[in-house]
Structure 1
């Protein structure tokens, strides 16, 4: 056979250079849109000038205030609790929907999936205002209860943590559904059929086969919802009525109202530290599941 029958393979060195050339545009975009702003934020958190990110010298005073002040400790706890609560209810409510869409063989499966994530086409601000109308003191729920004579006075459903949690759960459910749809690839109907043939009932099949195989997708959905929940600002601000304090609202308050940019930057770094901690926990849990 002729030596020219097969095309010449590129050398290993040239292949590496080609791979590097393909990575350069993405790395430059990542540096411009993420690394440089993060460096600016970190530098601003050490600034001694309250009105400038780079004015004056450097100090740890803003981190001391963010870490030692009992108010900010309470804000951090409120943020974590909000994220955990929203993640739990969003995943629990989204799991049956995602599992149904994964198992469905109907020709309407694509339409149902589109309907499940259709709320993403509407701004979170608009949906938050919708929940203000539903849960307000003169909203749909309170108006219905009072017209039926079930209550004499409005039930406080908004301007508190309950209203912010309900609104965030509904707003973030489409993200949880999408994450679980992407993570349910390990589900194998043949395993369930084999278990059923061996005498396992539906409940046992679910707890011993379906749920363990779907846990990676559940963890991914919980992580995504948690990160979005603890970084949210608009919904806690509007549904909380100024009574719900989370890190997102406090960063906005310090940056736009009191104009203390270094403290706002320090609080943002604390929020990023929470992100990093949760991601580390998620990675360890995922490794244990896949082991």
Structure 2
């Protein structure tokens, strides 16, 4: 074996040794629980989910034939779509400003934009309950200004859950877009302006197309986080917002139907996979 081949073989061995601890940890903490989840979804009873037992499709039959679970899946997709769209719309100007600014305060402003991540989402959800509640800041202000006679229902519904999730996930969207704005080039904008393009054309023809990969990444991240959210829909929905996350919790802890909870979890994973496939195809289309 020539020295170059020996060196390449040694490099591969070192790389494998470096990867091995991470692969083992990934297998123990992710792959094995995922395999157990699939096995549990085919169990005939909650006991069978832990100890083996018979294999059955009854849980999937329940999920696919019960209109309630179709409604839950639809509510989950609608919630995820609304949260992703509005989060990206609100986060885009902030991320674009942080990516373009040359101010010496850029680091501080970026830290402030992502500072909410230092606070638990549970605390922030309770904060939104105070703001949007029947006796909260908004309702109290509207009544004080005589703009409404009664209480405006802003919580215990999908609206409250959507608003809270948008605020909670905005830092994630800002970080994702900042990492995806590497294609932006001010020289292209200056060249377009010299050729007579106004600011609107510069934005629609140059800035927006070049920033779309970052926007898609942020939308994917927020959508996945939103459809898997449990705490915020549970608290802001007041038990009236039914999504897959809350139903998995109910089946696993209230009715103790572990096979059905596992089947719903598998359905959630299918939604994740579908969205990732759509994202990859959209990204390839943009890069083509």
Conservation of the 8 A alpha-carbon contact between 1:42 and 1:265:
yes
Q: TM-score, normalised by structure 2?
A: 0.97
Work out which of the residue numbers 42, 47, 63 in structure 1 matches 2:38. Answer: 42
Give the match for residue 109 of structure 1: 106
SS of the residue 1:243 aligns to: coil
Is the Cα contact below 8 Å between 1:43 and 1:54 reproduced in 2? no
Is 1:95 aligned with 2:97? no
Structure 2: state its 5+ residue gaps. none
What whole-Å deviation, never above 9, does each CA across 1:11-66 have from its counterpart, x for those lacking one? 33222222222221111111011101100111111111124413421101001111
The answer to whether the 8 Å contact 1:52/1:261 transfers is: no
Query: What CA distance in whole angstroms lies between the structure 2 residues aligned with 1:161 and 1:100?
Result: 31
For residues 225-244 of structure 1, what are the structure 2 equivalents within 5 Å?
225-244=222-241
Name the Cα RMSD after superposition: 1.0
1:51–1:260 Cα contact (<8 Å) kept: no
Tell me, in whole angstroms, the C-alpha distance in 1 between the residues paired with 2:49 and 2:104. Answer: 56
The answer to whether structure 1 residue 157 and structure 2 residue 154 are counterparts is yes
CA distance in 2: counterparts of 1:51 and 1:169, whole angstroms: 39
User: Which whole-Å deviations, capped at 9, do the CAs of 1:195-238 have from their partners, x for residues lacking one?
Assistant: 00000000000000000000000000000000000000000000
Q: Which runs of 4+ in 1 moved over 6 A?
A: none
- CA distance in structure 2 between the partners assigned to 1:50 and 1:108 by the alignment: 56
The 10-residue stretch of structure 1 (15-24 or 204-213) with the greater mean CA deviation from structure 2: 15-24
Scaled by the length of structure 1, the TM-score of the pair is 0.96
Provide the C-alpha distance between the structure 1 equivalents of 2:138 and 2:48, rounded to a whole number of angstroms: 47
Residue 17 of structure 1 pairs with residue 13 of structure 2? yes
Within the candidate set 248, 269, 272, 2:245 is matched to: 248
Q: In the alignment, is residue 217 of structure 1 matched against residue 211 of structure 2?
A: no
Any conservation in 1 of the 2:48–2:54 contact (CA below 8 Å)?
Answer: no
Say whether the 8 Å CA contact 1:44–1:265 is kept in structure 2. Answer: yes
Question: Are the equivalent residues in 2 in contact too, given 1:51–1:259 (CA < 8 A)?
Answer: no
CA distance in 2, matches of 1:107, 1:19: 40
Q: How many residues align?
A: 284
